[in-house]
Amino acid sequence: MENKVLVETSARHIHLTDEAVEALYGKGAELTVKKMLSQPGQFATANEKITLVGPNGKALAVSVLGPTRKANQVELSYSDARSLGLKSVPVRESGDVVGTPGLKLVGPVGEIEIEEGTIIAKRHIHMTPADAEAFGVEDKQVVKVKLDTDRALIFDDVVCRVHPTYALAMHIDTDECNAAGAFGEVYGEIVK
């Protein structure tokens, strides 16, 4: 589809370090693949779930995505953050966790407190260099994307993330999905 990009909803989830996996699931534990995700090399885990516990004592179960990373990162929607009692979770690009709130993580074997790592993921489009050239955009360029749904809207402040290993897809969170009625197979049009 010319000038169109698949829009996927990214529900709340967590990325863990090797150390966190061992602390939560036991010595020698490793993440196991349940299904591969649209971005090459990333997967949802089979049996590993985490419970997040917020400052208000409320808990939310989240999926674990693999492979492991260098830093723990929790990705929530604003609704999720509010339900956990988190008042100032920033909108950030993935990997930008310095100075963000922490949470308690509870696994089947243990629990840990992370000092930082909780973000609302900035809406973004993954694309290869060839995709970027076709759309006439560059890495880190900010664009608008129009969704033609029953609740059509234009998302502003969408960052283009360009890398040779990416697969073309826009990611929004569950609050954004619900606001746009972006259910099922939905495509957006880049309208710089």
Could you read off the pLDDT of 168-179 as tens digits, one per residue?
999 999 999 999
- 44 and 135 in a single domain? The answer is no
> In which band, very low, low, confident or very high, does the pLDDT at 96 lie, cut at 50, 70 and 90?
very high
Domain count along the chain? 2
- The pLDDT, as a whole number, for residue 107 is 96
Q: Per DSSP, what are the bridge partners of residue 50?
A: 62
Residues in the chain: 192
The reported pTM is 0.93
- 111 and 45 in a single domain? The answer is yes
Q: Tell me what the mean pLDDT of segment 106-111 comes to.
A: 96
Taking the C-alpha atoms of residue 149 and residue 111, their distance in angstroms, rounded to an integer, is 42
* Structural domain for 180, as ranges: 123-190
